[in-house]
Structure 1
Amino acid sequence: MKTIAIAAALLIPPSLACAQQQPMPPTMQMPDMPMPSQQHENHAAATPGKLPETQLLGAVAKRAPMTLEDFESIAEKTNPTLAQSHTLVRRAEQQGRQSALYPNPVVAYDAEHIRGGSYGGGEQGAYLQQNIVLGGKLGLRRSIYQQQAQEYTIGVDEQTYRVRNSVQQAFYKALTAQAAVVVRQHLLMLSLDAVKTSHQLANVGQADQPDVLQAEVEAEQANIDFVRSQREYLEDFQKLASIAGSRQLSVCPLTGDLEHPPAIDPEQQVATIVSASPSVKRAQQEVSVAEARLKAAKREAVPDLQLRAGEWWSGEQTSSTSNAAGPMSFVSAGVALPLWNRNQGNVEAAKAELERAQEDVTRTELSLKNLSEPLAQQYLAAQFEADRYRTDLLPRAQRAYDLYLAKYKQMAAAYPQVLISQRTLFQLQLDYLHALSTVWTTASALENFTLDGALSSPSSEPLNSTINLPNGGSQ
């Protein structure tokens, strides 16, 4: 027979002890709720079977705690999507710079009839050619990318809200999981005490063997649930670290006020989301981009002026003298006549894109309303639920458990009644934590415009790195 004292020593390090005589450290505290007042003493009862598994968070509790602000600071510095969103702005700015560069001049050498034949030497010389862009097309092309850079600037704000929302939701989910570990630990300690009490009563002939076996089963189940809750906390912490952008952050305790979520006006928040969300602003900016594209497409039909000037030397002999004709100058100018290709297809395509962008503003607003309305109702429902647990259900369940436990020790109640009241109490405590978590996560979603996806790549148009090439071509 192994003693419960050994089991408790393996399972619960002093830094995480949940017994009434030693309060929980601030880093692992859970929201205030009625907790059983059972004293644990030294747990000197004996139980058959395997000992409870060793505490998984022993080393974790010794590390410095982290707050929500710590993770938000990490995310601001290391989350890759924020850096990506800034690179999109720089890309558009440099594309605008490239699109407005003037065409390079052409310097060339030309020669004809070099051998001359019966006329003597041929003709040869050099010329300079320059295309003059007319109609303000370069400025209009640059305007497209300037408007796009502004869209991506709004995208930086949009991605910031995405990261912030994801970090906040992951933090409070992990904080809830941490509080659940404490609840499960309380339940395990009480189950171990119940085993001790059952053995003591059985030794004096005041408890039946089924009561002892039932107490041992409950203790073993409580241990399984305790280990599972620790695994869930480890999982949630690692997810939180990944969302923040950290690859090597060690698991540590979290500290935060889980029981006092922000008080918001859901109806007003929904209206703010629909009218002021970065997603709506970005959709509106896409309309400006489409308008710039349409304006540029209409102006592309204006032809460029092609100028050429040069100096020749002719070795051809004149008819009146044997001397060569000598140096000659020339100049030429021309434009392409926009007869067949007036860029009409691109103009109509730009009009269609403008219509699509305008409709996308309405689509975005409706989509945000569709997402935010259920969140507002979930927030209100969870807020009401958490308040009822705190003020009504938990105090009554606590009182019922205390009464049944006292009666059982006085042989005035059967042990199954104690088990039922115990299960009810701890299930209500877990449900209370779940309600608080829902209040926090829905409030975070509403305050961050329902934007989520801290590790989703920021949306952008396909990269075009062949704009206004130096050789005169472009794609």
Structure 2
Amino acid sequence: MQSIHFVFAAALLMQLLPHARAYATEQEKKASHFNDQAGASITSDLLTLNQAILLALESNPELRSAQQSVDIANGVREQAGAFPNPEISVLKEGLQKSTSTQTIQLSQTLELGGKRQARINVAEQERQLATNHVTISRAELRAEVVAAYLEALNASERANLVSASLELGQKASNAAAKRLLAGKISPLEQKRSDIAEANVRLEFVQANVELKHARRRLAALLGRSGDLTETLVMPEFELAEIPSLHDLKARLDTSPQLRQARNQIAREEAQLKLERALQMPDVTVVIGNKKDGETGRSQNVVGISVPLPLFNRNQGNVLSALNRVEKAKTTVEIEYLRMSQQLADAYERAQVSGRQISAIRQDILPAAQAAFDAAVKGFELGKFNFLDVLDAQRTLFQSRTQYLRAVSDRYRSIAEMQRYVSVEGIESGENFFLNGRNKK
């Protein structure tokens, strides 16, 4: 017959079982109820993934800085179209009024060779580069928020799992101590329980430190200097088939990164035209009036000045501009190869994580739950000790952690692909590849 301590410990352990079984159900309810509020202002203590993306797009200082670069480029464009200012000069020869000569001149530089239009074209390309940089920054920010959100979510769930493990470890140690006093177990088994609890306690401290770091990283992306106050929610999604890698690579031509690289070519070509236009000397026209103080006669002055391009023909800048054009064309090739490789890697990770999610859902999690239930039942019947139950629980929690990691890898891989591939709904936070649907 089991002792009263044995029965008491079993009762404590059974209190943890409903919590373990209801864990996934609670997360699904949270996601189902709050995912449809992605575009609304956050008034609750929950923060969904879509809400985090929208907050980052509104408040991230780096994105705001990229948008301010467009305003700077607009000012440069306006200045590029300005004409040279005329100059007025007054010359006086002699100090005595009766013998002095005074000349008033108005000079105007006339730009030749299409310099003004060439400047405007360069400024237009600079503005286009700044605009494209905003698009790239938005895509990269979205990918970073997805990664940081899921990292923080995984760290939070890991901390919860370790906390539950610590609770069970403490119960195991207390029960082992009581059973040792009752003569049911040996001191060695009691020591093993104490060691198991100490290891879980170390994991608990480490998990909470990692959780704080992850939440601070996410808060920084949202434009906050402190920690997050909201609770994160596991995104709900359905595993949809990802388009083939061949189809995805075909979309790279419309990627913002390649558009940016091609615009850089256009910018360097516009700069080359400007440098060539600068080889043409400008003409300065001078008109004025000269008055002789002694005779009182006035006469008009007309002149023209043209620099002689004997030594400086801007040849060095033209050569540099030619080489920059060639470099920009090479950069397009480098960028395409880099994106193709990263797109293929992300695609493979998404495929692997999808298979992992299916396997964990269908096989691993049910088996781990069944093993835990069997360990608890065996403990009630006196067939297993607490360490057996602790091992079964640890296996169950590790399986859940593995599942969360696989979901995180799936989301991160798809977010990585969305850095380069133009996808419908990327600005609104919708996920084309995941085929996610918010249940209402």
User: How would you bin the TM-score normalised by the shorter chain?
Assistant: 0.7 to 0.9
SS at match of 1:121: coil
Q: What is the aligned counterpart of 2:80 among 99, 103, 115?
A: 99
| 2:262 matched residue in structure 1 | 284
Q: What is the aligned counterpart of 1:70 among 1, 26, 51?
A: 51
Q: What are structure 2's unaligned runs of at least 5 residues?
A: 6-14, 31-43, 423-440
| 1:29 matched residue in structure 2 | 27
Q: Supply the distance in 2 between the matched residues of 1:223 and 1:115 (Cα, whole angstroms).
A: 100
Q: Which piece of structure 1 moves more, 243-252 or 390-399?
A: 243-252
Decide whether aligned partners of structure 1 residues 423 and 266 sit closer, same or farther in structure 2, where only a CA change above 3 A counts. Answer: farther
Decide whether aligned partners of structure 1 residues 362 and 98 sit closer, same or farther in structure 2, where only a CA change above 3 A counts. Answer: same
Q: What is the aligned counterpart of 2:70 among 89, 114, 124?
A: 89
| 2:156 matched residue in structure 1 | 178
Decide whether aligned partners of structure 1 residues 381 and 215 sit closer, same or farther in structure 2, where only a CA change above 3 A counts. Answer: same
| 2:430 matched residue in structure 1 | none
What residue identity is the alignment partner of 1:294?
Answer: L
Does residue 194 of structure 1 match 2:172?
yes
What residue identity is the alignment partner of 1:104?
Answer: N
Q: What is the aligned counterpart of 2:420 among 449, 455, 459?
A: 449
| 2:109 matched residue in structure 1 | 131
Q: What is the aligned counterpart of 1:164 among 142, 155, 179?
A: 142
Where do residues 5-404 of structure 1 align in structure 2 (5 Å cutoff)? 20=18, 29=27, 64-113=45-94, 115=96, 121-195=99-173, 197-198=175-176, 201-202=179-180, 205-257=183-235, 260=238, 264-265=242-243, 267=245, 270-271=248-249, 274-316=252-294, 324=295, 326-404=297-375
The one-character-per-residue Cα deviations of 1:417-452 (angstroms, maximum 9, x if unpaired) are 44443433332222222222212211211123299x
What residue identity is the alignment partner of 1:438?
Answer: D
Q: Supply the distance in 1 between the matched residues of 2:213 and 2:256 (Cα, whole angstroms).
A: 31
Decide whether aligned partners of structure 1 residues 219 and 108 sit closer, same or farther in structure 2, where only a CA change above 3 A counts. Answer: same
**Contact kept in structure 2, 1:237 and 1:251, CA below 8 Å:** no
Q: Supply the distance in 2 between the matched residues of 1:21 and 1:376 (Cα, whole angstroms).
A: 36
SS at match of 2:271: helix
The one-character-per-residue Cα deviations of 1:348-396 (angstroms, maximum 9, x if unpaired) are 2111111111111111111112222222222222221222122112222
Task: Report the alpha carbon displacement of residue 238 of structure 1 after superposing the two structures with TM.
Answer: 1.2
| 1:12 matched residue in structure 2 | none
Q: What are structure 1's unaligned runs of at least 5 residues?
A: 4-16, 33-62, 317-323, 452-475
Over the matched positions of the two proteins, sequence identity in percent amounts to 24
Task: Report the alpha carbon displacement of residue 212 of structure 1 after superposing the two structures with TM.
Answer: 3.2
Task: Report the alpha carbon displacement of residue 174 of structure 1 after superposing the two structures with TM.
Answer: 1.0
SS at match of 2:284: strand
Q: Supply the distance in 2 between the matched residues of 1:368 and 1:420 (Cα, whole angstroms).
A: 44
**Contact kept in structure 1, 2:159 and 2:207, CA below 8 Å:** yes
Q: Supply the distance in 1 between the matched residues of 2:19 and 2:132 (Cα, whole angstroms).
A: 54
Where do residues 398-437 of structure 1 align in structure 2 (5 Å cutoff)? 398-413=369-384, 417-437=388-408
Q: Supply the distance in 2 between the matched residues of 1:181 and 1:157 (Cα, whole angstroms).
A: 36
The one-character-per-residue Cα deviations of 1:206-256 (angstroms, maximum 9, x if unpaired) are 433333332333234333323432332222111100112112454331123
SS at match of 1:169: helix
What residue identity is the alignment partner of 2:72?
Answer: R
What residue identity is the alignment partner of 1:234?
Answer: K
Decide whether aligned partners of structure 1 residues 82 and 157 sit closer, same or farther in structure 2, where only a CA change above 3 A counts. Answer: same
TM normalised by structure 2 equals 0.80
**Contact kept in structure 2, 1:107 and 1:127, CA below 8 Å:** yes
Q: Supply the distance in 2 between the matched residues of 1:266 and 1:182 (Cα, whole angstroms).
A: 38
**Contact kept in structure 1, 2:215 and 2:227, CA below 8 Å:** no
**Contact kept in structure 2, 1:198 and 1:215, CA below 8 Å:** yes
Decide whether aligned partners of structure 1 residues 154 and 75 sit closer, same or farther in structure 2, where only a CA change above 3 A counts. Answer: same
What residue identity is the alignment partner of 1:20?
Answer: P
| 2:433 matched residue in structure 1 | none
Task: Report the alpha carbon displacement of residue 333 of structure 1 after superposing the two structures with TM.
Answer: 2.1
**Contact kept in structure 2, 1:269 and 1:447, CA below 8 Å:** no
Task: Report the alpha carbon displacement of residue 325 of structure 1 after superposing the two structures with TM.
Answer: 6.2
Task: Report the alpha carbon displacement of residue 264 of structure 1 after superposing the two structures with TM.
Answer: 3.0
Task: Report the alpha carbon displacement of residue 113 of structure 1 after superposing the two structures with TM.
Answer: 4.7
Task: Report the alpha carbon displacement of residue 143 of structure 1 after superposing the two structures with TM.
Answer: 1.1
TM normalised by structure 1 equals 0.74
Decide whether aligned partners of structure 1 residues 114 and 423 sit closer, same or farther in structure 2, where only a CA change above 3 A counts. Answer: closer
Decide whether aligned partners of structure 1 residues 345 and 386 sit closer, same or farther in structure 2, where only a CA change above 3 A counts. Answer: same
SS at match of 1:104: coil
Aligned residues: 396
Decide whether aligned partners of structure 1 residues 264 and 245 sit closer, same or farther in structure 2, where only a CA change above 3 A counts. Answer: farther
| 1:36 matched residue in structure 2 | none
Decide whether aligned partners of structure 1 residues 235 and 225 sit closer, same or farther in structure 2, where only a CA change above 3 A counts. Answer: same
What residue identity is the alignment partner of 1:89?
Answer: V
| 1:45 matched residue in structure 2 | none
**Contact kept in structure 1, 2:290 and 2:299, CA below 8 Å:** yes
SS at match of 1:177: helix
Decide whether aligned partners of structure 1 residues 232 and 269 sit closer, same or farther in structure 2, where only a CA change above 3 A counts. Answer: farther
**Contact kept in structure 2, 1:259 and 1:436, CA below 8 Å:** no
SS at match of 2:46: coil
Q: Supply the distance in 2 between the matched residues of 1:292 and 1:149 (Cα, whole angstroms).
A: 13
**Contact kept in structure 2, 1:172 and 1:258, CA below 8 Å:** no
SS at match of 2:18: coil
Decide whether aligned partners of structure 1 residues 408 and 343 sit closer, same or farther in structure 2, where only a CA change above 3 A counts. Answer: same
Indicate the structure with greater helix content: 2
Taking only aligned residues, the RMSD between alpha carbons, in angstroms, comes to 3.2
